């Protein structure tokens, strides 16, 4: 019989002890440690990311559905009464040719509505895309250009499809040449500003600045649409349709960015690499 009354069984090595502890079932309420803690944290992050993706998909689908419903109402003429009432609400009582407010307010409306013009949005998109390219984020630059260009093509296609006349209830506050539905300024403002807002929010780790960037993008989008109604160049339903389809397009671009980033076709920034999310 071995000394000390030993039964002759070999003692487990430290490595075997660690493996055994990792494989032990965790008691309810126990605090995870070591590798299990990291694994559970990674699973929790993955679940949160997937939940976020599902929410964005649902919002994009809701935007498309809302646009389709609104388009149907417009084609059936169900929005005429509301469109006329809201358009006249922004005009001086008894004088539809005179927008509410002093002359400088109308001029301010023209300045703000230019933020949704093709020239301004194209210059802004090219400037930001060049910045992303110089930062080495080539995939993100191409994504921004693709989202903007495709959104512009969709806007023109929808205008040709519906071919709705411009409002004739009040004089136009500026020159217009295309069809009315949906509002191209409103749609493209949503596509460009919301997409840029998401891009900037992704690389900013502080929540307060994320909210500031996204709030600014939403505010610019709203101002462009409201001024289109104020200047009498769009029916309110045109602007609402532009907002819904534009926001849906921006959300769809976010989903494409996530897919391409997971496949390695779009570069991750340092903040995204650390967080593991887009």
- The rounded distance, in Å, linking the Cα atoms of 176 and 27 is 70
175 belongs to the catalytic site: no
Any residues with CB less than 8 A from the CB of 100 and at least 6 apart, and which? 90, 91, 92, 230
Name the phi and psi angles at 79, rounded to 5.
Answer: -100, 0
- The rounded distance, in Å, linking the Cα atoms of 61 and 56 is 9
DSSP 170: S
> By the 8 A CB rule, do 166 and 160 touch?
no
**Helix ranges (DSSP H) in 90-235:** 103-113, 118-134, 138-162, 184-203, 207-230
User: Angle at Cα 151 formed by Cα 253 and Cα 197, nearest 5°?
Assistant: 50
Rg (CA), the chain: 28
Ramachandran category for residue 276: left, alpha or beta (phi over 0 → left; psi -120 to 50 → alpha): left
How is residue 8 written in tokens? 């002759």
234 belongs to the catalytic site: yes
Nearest to 223 by CA among 113, 123, 102: 113
Q: Which residues are catalytic?
A: 185, 234
């Amino acid at each position: 019989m071995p000394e000390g009354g030993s039964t002759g069984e070999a003692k487990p090595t430290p490595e075997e002890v660690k493996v055994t502890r990792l494989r032990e079932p965790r008691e309810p309420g126990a605090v995870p440690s070591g590798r299990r803690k990291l694994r559970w944290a990674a699973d929790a992050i993955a679940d949160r990311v997937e939940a976020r993706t599902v929410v964005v998909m649902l919002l994009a689908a809701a935007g498309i559905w809302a646009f389709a419903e609104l388009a149907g109402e417009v084609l059936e003429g169900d929005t005429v009464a509301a469109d006329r009432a809201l358009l006249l609400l922004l005009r001086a009582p008894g004088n539809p040719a005179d927008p509410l407010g002093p002359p400088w307010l109308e001029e301010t409306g023209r300045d703000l509505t230019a933020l949704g013009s093709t020239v301004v949005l194209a210059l802004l998109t090219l400037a930001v895309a060049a910045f992303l390219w110089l930062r080495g984020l080539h995939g993100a630059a191409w994504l921004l250009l693709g989202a903007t260009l495709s959104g512009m093509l969709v806007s023109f296609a929808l205008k040709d499809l519906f071919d709705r006349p411009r409002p004739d209830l009040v004089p136009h506050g500026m020159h217009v040449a295309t069809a009315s539905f949906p509002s191209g300024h409103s749609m493209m403002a949503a596509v460009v500003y919301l997409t840029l807002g998401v891009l900037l929010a992704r690389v900013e780790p502080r929540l307060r600045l994320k909210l500031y960037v996204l709030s600014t993008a939403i505010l610019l989008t709203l101002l462009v649409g409201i001024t289109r109604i104020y200047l009498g160049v769009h029916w309110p339903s045109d602007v609402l349709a532009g907002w819904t389809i534009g926001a849906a397009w921006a959300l769809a671009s976010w989903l494409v960015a996530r897919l391409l980033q997971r496949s390695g076709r779009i570069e991750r920034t340092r903040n995204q690499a650390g967080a593991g999310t887009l």
